């Protein structure tokens, strides 16, 4: 189950990851009210389960409630890569000195977790990985977990500056607690920022929870998103079935993922 940014940050906050103050808004009026409570400069961010929001115009830095209202009016209802924006997150604007990237993800091929870290975070991280692979450090995670010492080693390998290394390592250790404690298959922060006053803050958050482990986390059932699920997939799930919507005209009923995939290939 993929989470929205504000849901990921709710979990981050429970594990002690530093965040900026923010409020959810479903209407332009709510966005304006939230901006009034948060302060003069805020960021209005589309809440969709896909990347590329900034490039699509779904993230706006504005001054004051009226500008926040106008930004929310433009963003709500926007289509971003096939995802309709139904909610925005209004957050305090940050004084960003540097941007980093960090994630834990499940490496299914190797049957272990992998950490990915870069001192060059931000919107162009994919381009960085393609043009300068050495700037993106991939480190297998020991089955026993990630200690602060392990996190410091990751930071050194990725070239995180000395002035931020200790604080970034502390965040990495907490993000591992999120991944292991929540049975997540992905925990990503891009950007993880160093502010002008020396704080390290998660400005974004992306989390994917393992559906097979949700029985251990009934408190996360409220994160289920009816808008993000195909109607037929939802109806099948209610009956204990797995249904995957694909293109084409032939439907396959099978038992076992490998058998079904082989049949589809044929």
Q: Looking at residues 77-99, what average pLDDT do you find? A: 95
What is the distance between the alpha carbons of residues 216 and 235, in angstroms, rounded to a whole number? 22
d(CA 196, CA 247): 49
Cβ-defined contacts of 13-19 (< 8 Å, 24+): 15/174, 15/175, 15/177, 15/178, 15/181, 16/174, 17/171, 17/174, 17/175, 17/178, 17/202, 18/171, 18/199, 18/200, 18/201, 18/202, 19/201, 19/202
**What average pLDDT does range 26-51 have in this prediction?**
96
Beta bridge partners of 45: 59, 89
Query: How do residues 97-152 score in pLDDT, each as one tens digit?
Result: 999 999 999 999 999 999 999 999 987 788 888 888 889 999 999 989 999 999 99
Domain of residue 47 covers 21-92
Assign 181 to helix, strand or coil.
Answer: helix
At residue 214, the pLDDT reads 93
| Residue 257 confidence class, pLDDT cut points 50, 70, 90 | confident
Quickly state the pLDDT bin for 40 (edges 50, 70, 90).
confident
- Mean pLDDT for all residues in the chain: 93
Please name every residue paired with 184 in a beta bridge, in sequence order, or none if there are none: 209
Claim to verify: residue 115 and residue 168 sit in the same structural domain: yes
**Alpha-carbon gap, residue 51 to 67, rounded angstroms:** 24
Exposure letters 209-236 (e unless 16+ CB within 10 A, then b): beeeeeeeeeebeebeeeeeeeeeeeee
Look at the chain and report how many structural domains it folds into.
3
The dihedrals phi and psi of 42, each to the nearest 5 degrees, come to -135, 170
Residue 222 lies in a domain: no
Structural domain ending residue among the three candidates 74, 92, 110: 92
Contact by Cβ (8 Å): 122, 194:
no
- The reply to whether 243 belongs to the active site is no
Instruction: Answer for the pair 21, 91: CB distance below 8 angstroms, yes or no.
Output: yes
Residue-wise pLDDT for 164-204, tens only, equals 999 999 999 999 999 999 999 999 999 999 999 999 999 99
Say which CATH number the domain at 133 has: 3.30.470.20
DSSP helix/strand/coil, 228: helix
Q: Same structural domain for residues 237 and 250?
A: yes
Judge contact between 144 and 153, C-beta under 8 A: no
- As a whole number of angstroms, the distance between CA 259 and CA 198 comes to 53
Residue among 7, 23, 91, 188 flagged as catalytic: 188
What are residue 194's DSSP bridge partners? 98, 200
Q: What is the pLDDT of residues 194-234, one digit of tens each?
A: 999 999 999 999 999 999 999 999 999 999 887 766 778 88
Residues 107 and 44 in one domain: no
Say which of 4, 91, 101, 182 is annotated catalytic.
Answer: 101
**pLDDT, tens digit, 9 for 90 and up, residues 234-249:** 888 889 888 888 888 8
Question: Which of residues 187, 212, 237 is at a domain's end?
Answer: 212
Q: Is residue 6 domain-resident?
A: no
Same domain, 132 and 69: no
Residue 124 annotated among the catalytic residues of the structure? no
Comparing CA positions, the residue from 120, 129, 117, 103 lying closest to residue 207 is 103
CATH number for the domain including 68?
3.30.1490.20
Domain contains 4: no
End-to-end CA distance of the chain: 29
Instruction: Give yes or no: residues 163 and 263 share one domain.
Output: no
Average pLDDT estimate for 83-89: 96
| Domain shared by 156 and 186, yes or no | yes
Q: What does the DSSP assignment read for 70-128?
A: HHHHHHTT-EETTEE---EEEEE---EEEEEEEEEEEETTTTEEEEEEESS-STTHHHH
Strand 22-25 and strand 83-84: the pairing is unpaired
Do 44 and 100 lie in a common domain?
no
User: Quick check: is 13 in a domain?
Assistant: no
- The pLDDT score that the predictor gives to residue 228 is 63
Q: Kindly state whether residues 65 and 119 are assigned to the same domain.
A: no
């Amino acid at each position: 189950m993929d989470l929205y940014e504000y849901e990921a940050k709710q979990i981050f906050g429970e594990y002690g990851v530093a965040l900026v103050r923010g409020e959810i808004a479903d209407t332009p009026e709510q966005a304006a009210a939230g901006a009034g409570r948060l302060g003069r400069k805020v960021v209005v961010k589309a809440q969709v389960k896909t990347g590329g929001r900034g490039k699509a115009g779904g993230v706006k830095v504005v001054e004051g409630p009226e500008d926040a209202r106008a930004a929310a009016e433009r963003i709500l209802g926007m289509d971003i890569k096939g995802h309709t924006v139904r909610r925005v997150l209004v957050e305090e604007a940050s004084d960003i000195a540097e941007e980093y990237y960090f994630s834990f993800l499940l490496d299914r091929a190797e049957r272990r977790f992998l950490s990915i870290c870069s001192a060059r975070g931000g919107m162009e991280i994919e381009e960085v990985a393609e043009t300068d692979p050495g700037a993106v450090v991939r480190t297998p995670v020991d089955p026993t977990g990630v200690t602060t010492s392990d996190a410091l080693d990751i930071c050194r390998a990725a070239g995180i500056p000395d002035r931020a290394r200790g604080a970034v390592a502390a965040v990495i250790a907490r993000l591992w607690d999120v991944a292991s404690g929540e049975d997540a298959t992905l925990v990503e922060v891009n950007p993880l920022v160093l502010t002008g006053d020396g704080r390290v803050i998660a400005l974004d958050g992306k989390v994917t929870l393992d559906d097979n482990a949700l029985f251990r986390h009934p408190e996360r059932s409220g994160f289920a998103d009816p808008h993000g699920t195909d109607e037929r997939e939802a109806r099948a799930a209610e009956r204990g079935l797995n249904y995957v919507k694909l293109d084409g005209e032939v439907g396959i009923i099978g038992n076992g993922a490998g058998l079904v995939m082989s049949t589809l290939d044929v």
